[in-house]
Homo-oligomer: A and B are copies of this chain.
Amino acid sequence: MKKNRVEAFSDGVIAIIITIMVLELRVPHGEDFETLTPLIPVFLSYVLSFVYLGIYWNNHHHMLNAVQSVTGAILWANLHLLFWLSLVPFATGWMGENHFAPVPSALYGLVLLMAGVAYLILQQLIIKSQGPDSILKKAVRRDWKGKLSPVLYAAAIALAFRWEWITLGLYVLVALIWLIPDRRIEKILRSGAQE
């Protein structure tokens, strides 16, 4: 039951974040096609962040499936992850309204990096709580995505001040890498259920 409430709360927060983000797409004054033009970068950064939050919701969903009991530390690690995700709308809006300028693009990467780190901390705490036979540990054994993403984010932040389009390209790349849903946990869980 406890786990259900953590899931419900996380779902609620992620659902609200993903939805209030669209409020940055402010209704323009004017009724022509041209009034939409300055909104295009805001829209594109909205699409990117929507995909990222979808990925987080998706993976969070899979990861919590593998959890048996929620400790105080897991609760706070989860809130810590939600904290960084809650900054995504701000970073998205700032990046979009400044047409992917260096500093806003770097800040966007920083928020993604911190969310990624928060996700790894949550993962480690769940593994630790499950003891030596952790089902999650087996599932993420070759977690090259989780290890590669922070490196790519860090590279994107560093490059933002010289080649901002490479930065943006890296954000799209990381999203594409993760877009393939995390079938590893699903597979292990399924084989565990069959035994």
A interface residues, Cβ below 8 angstroms from B: 1-2, 5, 7-9, 11-20, 22-25, 27-33, 36, 47, 50, 54, 57-58, 61, 65, 72, 75-76, 79, 82-83, 86-87, 89-90, 93-94, 97-98, 101-104, 107, 179-181, 183, 186
A93 to B35, CA, bound (A): 14
Q: Is the CB of A11 within 8 A of B9?
A: yes
A113 to B82, CA, bound (A): 26
Q: Is the CB of A50 within 8 A of B86?
A: yes
A8-B8, A31-B101, A183-B72 known; A20-B23 Cβ under 8 A:
yes
Q: Is the CB of A15 within 8 A of B13?
A: yes
19 more contacts with CB within 8 A, not counting A5-B11, A50-B79, are A5-B61, A9-B15, A9-B57, A12-B12, A16-B19, A16-B20, A18-B86, A20-B20, A20-B22, A22-B86, A23-B23, A28-B94, A29-B97, A31-B102, A31-B104, A32-B103, A36-B107, A58-B75, A72-B181
**Sample of 28 A–B contacts (CB below 8 Å):** A2-B65, A5-B11, A8-B11, A9-B11, A9-B15, A9-B57, A11-B12, A12-B12, A12-B15, A12-B16, A13-B18, A13-B19, A15-B16, A16-B19, A17-B19, A19-B20, A20-B23, A22-B89, A22-B90, A25-B87, A25-B90, A31-B98, A36-B107, A47-B83, A54-B79, A72-B180, A72-B186, A76-B181
